[in-house]
Structure 1
């Protein structure tokens, strides 16, 4: 990402929060015979496998994506994208005409570990249960028909990524005055063409945590 020191996000807890709240990630690899390849899968934090300030992700890919990426042979990039949106200069002071795009983004690097079948199935169960919790009494589990679920799981490959490098940005109008920031938040919370309540919440977290 562009080197913008005043937007760098180096708080590991905030990066973990970004992953928790935005689990749909992009996995990017540079493969000799194909060049750059990308796939999209959900990721979870593996809290049990992490030590200290370490960030550990677990996920899976559908076959044959593990071959497409040559997983386990080299470093991959996992992109986690939080709320983002257009910021119109009409929300700025008179005479300011340059727009921007606010965003929260993390680039996470590491060499993935390929999981065995048993651990892959466990992770698939965790992924399903994690997202099904919101369904309440309607929630479904792979355990309902484990034999069938295990057959389906054979079409996937589980992976664990111990993040060795983080490059994250929190670009939320930190270079603007408080008055302008308030106007931007008001517009994002409104009903205009670029309204984005999630981006407004992120801006409140940065500029006035008491209001987030």
Structure 2
């Protein structure tokens, strides 16, 4: 995470909400074959644990139970040109929002896997309203259970929370607004909106 304390994000409730809203990220762990990364959707199991699953064929899967891992969720981001600040002697930078969740991973018992998949699908289906929510009841008898045999469920208990909201807080308000406007014009409306929020 960025070392400048102006960008440090320590609000756990806000970070938890951020991960819930953008629940897809990268899971990093060390394995006998070297460092590995998997791209996974996650769901909060409670206030301090996230659940996820991997294909049994994923090279990380056999090494995760009992391992220390790092999950990273990235939010809006964008390149900031020095010309956009309206100030002299600036340098290019990149504004972004990210959360790192580090902790120990445990494999889930197979009988808990259906509930994990139900929770993952439900959290994402409700975002598609007014579309009716998909449930596994729509699948042919026995198919869901057979497909579960191809994946393994895990939970990560968060021990360390690290967040960064690098939104130009080290610049004067007029420079931040100018850069946010140019980011908006460049198509990076998500990061532009967050930059404006820090000035509200």
TM over 0.5: yes
Q: 1:137 aligned to 2:131? A: yes
Match of 1:205 among 178, 197, 200: 197
1:18-68: per-residue Cα shift (whole Å, max 9, x none)?
A: 20121111000011x211100001011223xx3xxxx32111111133754
* TM-fit CA distance, 1:181: 1.0
Q: 1:184 aligned to 2:179? A: yes
| Structure 1 unaligned blocks of 5 or more | none
Q: Secondary structure at the match of 1:80?
A: strand
> What's the counterpart of residue 18 of structure 1?
18
Q: Which structure exhibits the higher relative contact order, with contacts defined as CA atoms closer than 8 Å and separated by 6 or more residues?
A: 2
Normalising to structure 2: TM-score of the pair?
0.91
8 Å Cα contact 2:104/2:156 also seen in 1: yes
In the alignment, the residues of structure 2 paired with residue 6 and residue 181 of structure 1 have an alpha-carbon distance, to the nearest angstrom, of 14
> What's the counterpart of residue 28 of structure 2?
28
Please give the residue correspondences for 1:58-137 in structure 2 after superposition, counting only pairs within 5 Å: 58-65=51-58, 67-68=60-61, 70-133=63-126, 134-137=128-131
* TM-fit CA distance, 1:205: 2.7
**Structure-2 change in CA distance of 1:136 and 1:10 (3 Å):** same
Runs of 4+ aligned residues of structure 1 deviating over 6 Å after TM superposition are none
Equivalenced residues, count: 198
In the alignment, the residues of structure 2 paired with residue 69 and residue 26 of structure 1 have an alpha-carbon distance, to the nearest angstrom, of 17
| Structure 2 unaligned blocks of 5 or more | none
Segment of structure 1 superposing worse, 140-149 or 166-175: 140-149
1:134-157: per-residue Cα shift (whole Å, max 9, x none)?
A: 153354222222521111111111
8 Å Cα contact 2:70/2:101 also seen in 1: yes
Q: CA RMSD in A?
A: 1.8
Q: Secondary structure at the match of 1:163?
A: strand
